[in-house]
A and B are shown apart, each in its own frame.
Chain A
């Protein structure tokens, strides 16, 4: 009976035109409208600008009338010898941010949700959330005041203990660690909000049943909360992977600045392009690298989604 109904509904659906579809679900369409307009306006419309990557841009002729120049704009990036290094850095940093970040965000959300005292919960949440609002410029100043050779907190402590001061700004190996920690510190509070929302949506009767059956807090978290957050986590990770070849420019730029010694370990595609093209201001070349990033991201998200689909169809994005 149910199946018959389904078939009927399907046939009806097929018969209806798009317009009828829109009329029928107009409220839903209306609700989705802002998002649709946003995507059309800011994601689809600018796509035409991709042609810039293959053009010798000239202000007078504009985007579409400028002369073509083939792959000329891509040359500088690959000829620099840094393309592989910065692509690797961008990818690895983002992977670390996404996986460690999501893991910590989930843990934080679980802890916060299990806190009983309302005031200490709010206090903890505010403290964890707060770094999100600090600008990277300010964070950059913090870092300098911690690690500066002559005036930094770290070296003053080291000196007072009789140890040799360290010039962190000439030692690339510390930086992957510093940058990852700083990014997590800044992003965990904000990211945990999504997980908190997901947790508050969980069915409390399951917890009550588990509690009656004698499950301890740790067991309840491990066997109920975490598995139920899985699909949220996968969605967030997939969304993150969609931007895995785009570096967080303001972070890397503010923390590292123009310090060439560290570039091999800290330079991401975005900072490299900024530095190289800032004064020549060649839109074609920047567009070329932007396209390179987009293509890589696209390929990567398709692959990641495909893998997830194979393992667990319902968690995949599309």
Chain B
């Protein structure tokens, strides 16, 4: 009897709690559905120190313009890949998601992670954006004929440039570096003479010695697209790649590249801290690093070089950065309106890209600006982060305090830029999923040590033939045939369209 009473009470208790929470849930939902629509956006990178100031201002404008509020959640780069894929599998609620080819946009889209963005939606809610999306761009961003992303519209290259320490170069009596051989002299000199400075901490550098006009697509397949020949090749069978591996090992033997470079996890900030003699990153990142170091360490006399000015290039795919709508986005209309404002309204673009006018930057005409960030204390600086999602060439301002070499290099690159629609080709990996996974694990086991310069010089040829054998077992030829077949179809369709 007593037990029964207890049970009754327990049930009543549980019920009342459940009811209460249900009522609460209703309450909050009603609030959300009211005047102001709350949107959530996912961006990679770190939250800006003055997020509240910038996005507080943004929200003031958004509330007034379209009756919405935007909240940004940042996914740190260190675990971006894991968190990003969990975002879709866990069904987390958010509306706008950063998307990019380097975040497997195609695969995510074919798994239905995103909401399709139709022409009608664009015309109605983002008309200015719609106008900027040319057929080529739309083609690049479409998966199985459907558009899932609003790509950025800006010219970018993924090519790496090199920063070096001018003071060290002068110390050892070397002239300006004219070519890659001068660069090697510089590196060897540092390896021999400087005991506290490591010449190289980034293996991205090993690609500099080969004249490889290729793009590594489709990702994770060990294939590459040869720009000059207009065809796909198996990377690990090409002389230019084998030679670059040999060069890497030669540099390891010379002491230029540390023997255990792949294991060292603290290489990121070594150049900045004066512990490494080179910095190898893409043009944007390198030139902002150069600018920063010229201000903080003028005595280092930072210099920037591009050693592959004559190698043909292709402008990055427009899907290298962009914004998508989450599949479970509740308010696609408002989300698109927000993207439209971010991309095409100068007030929004300037605020999110450069910060608060007068505090973080000063306008110089319509298309230029002077950054005031350097004079501000660290907690007041505005580091925009992954705002490239709404990068728009026609809105961009040029930084007049930018280092002059950047434009020189860009001009030189433009001379060798090839018109190509290769990025319009999206590879459908459905038929070779197993092979891609197997090739990937083979590449990391047998290809990794080669790339990292861990295989002794005399054994590289042998290691390559073993690696190639393993790749064949893994089914690289099947992937190659599939890619070539699909590419041929793509070409034929294009030519027929003309």
Residues of B within 8 A of A261 (CB): 449, 454
Residues of A within 8 A of B88 (CB): 59
A277, B104: Cα distance in complex, Å: 12
CB atoms of A279 and B220 under 8 A apart: yes
Residues of A within 8 A of B474 (CB): 79-81
A275, B327: Cα distance in complex, Å: 27
Residue B438 at the A interface, CB < 8 A?
A: yes
Determine how close the nearest CB of chain A comes to the CB of B201; give it in whole angstroms.
12
A140, B266: Cα distance in complex, Å: 12
Contact partner, B89, options A59, A76, A144, Cβ 8 Å: A59
Determine how close the nearest CB of chain A comes to the CB of B17; give it in whole angstroms.
16
Contact with A along B102-129 (1 / 0, CB 8 A): 0010011001110000000000000000
Contact partner, A272, options B89, B264, B441, Cβ 8 Å: B441
A76, B435: Cα distance in complex, Å: 7
Determine how close the nearest CB of chain A comes to the CB of B219; give it in whole angstroms.
7
Determine how close the nearest CB of chain A comes to the CB of B321; give it in whole angstroms.
18
Give 23 CB contacts A-B under 8 Å: A23-B3, A59-B111, A75-B434, A79-B434, A80-B438, A80-B442, A81-B470, A81-B474, A140-B265, A141-B265, A144-B260, A144-B264, A167-B259, A170-B449, A257-B265, A258-B262, A260-B454, A261-B454, A279-B104, A279-B219, A279-B220, A280-B433, A280-B437
CB-nearest residue of chain A to B107:
A280
A317, B425: Cα distance in complex, Å: 58
Chain B interface helix/strand/loop/mixed: helix
Residues of A within 8 A of B438 (CB): 76, 79-80, 276
Residue B475 at the A interface, CB < 8 A?
A: yes
CB atoms of B81 and A278 under 8 A apart: yes
- Of the stretches A6-14, A38-46, A201-209, A281-289, the one at the interface is A281-289
Determine how close the nearest CB of chain A comes to the CB of B89; give it in whole angstroms.
6
- For chain A residues 64-106, which have a beta carbon within 8 Å of chain B? 72, 75-76, 79-82
Contact partner, B258, options A23, A76, A150, Cβ 8 Å: A150
Residue B302 at the A interface, CB < 8 A?
A: no
Q: Which residues of A contact B (CB under 8 A)?
A: 23, 26, 57-61, 72, 75-76, 79-82, 140-141, 144, 148-150, 167, 169-170, 257-261, 263-264, 267, 272, 275-283, 285
Residue B85 at the A interface, CB < 8 A?
A: yes
Residue B496 at the A interface, CB < 8 A?
A: no
Residues of B within 8 A of A59 (CB): 88-89, 111-113, 327
CB-nearest residue of chain A to B112:
A60
CB atoms of B220 and A76 under 8 A apart: no
Most buried by A among B88, B108, B112, B446: B112
CB-nearest residue of chain B to A169:
B260
CB atoms of B448 and A259 under 8 A apart: yes
- For chain B residues 130-189, which have a beta carbon within 8 Å of chain A? none
Residues of B within 8 A of A267 (CB): 445
A277, B3: Cα distance in complex, Å: 53
CB atoms of A285 and B447 under 8 A apart: no
Known: A76-B438, A150-B259, A279-B220. 10 other contacts (CB 8 A): A23-B3, A58-B111, A58-B112, A144-B263, A150-B260, A257-B265, A260-B446, A276-B444, A280-B436, A285-B437
Residues of A within 8 A of B447 (CB): 260
CB atoms of B89 and A258 under 8 A apart: no
Determine how close the nearest CB of chain B comes to the CB of A47; give it in whole angstroms.
18
Residues of A within 8 A of B104 (CB): 279-281
Determine how close the nearest CB of chain B comes to the CB of A257; give it in whole angstroms.
6
CB atoms of B441 and A82 under 8 A apart: yes
Residues of B within 8 A of A60 (CB): 112, 327
Determine how close the nearest CB of chain B comes to the CB of A171; give it in whole angstroms.
11
Contact partner, B434, options A23, A76, A148, A279, Cβ 8 Å: A76
Residues of A within 8 A of B454 (CB): 169-170, 259-261
Residue B359 at the A interface, CB < 8 A?
A: no
A267, B441: Cα distance in complex, Å: 11
Determine how close the nearest CB of chain A comes to the CB of B220; give it in whole angstroms.
6
Residues of A within 8 A of B473 (CB): 81
Determine how close the nearest CB of chain A comes to the CB of B93; give it in whole angstroms.
14
Residues of A within 8 A of B452 (CB): 259-260
Determine how close the nearest CB of chain A comes to the CB of B328; give it in whole angstroms.
9
Residue B301 at the A interface, CB < 8 A?
A: no
Contact partner, A76, options B81, B108, B219, B437, Cβ 8 Å: B437
CB atoms of B444 and A148 under 8 A apart: no
Contact partner, B448, options A81, A258, A285, Cβ 8 Å: A258
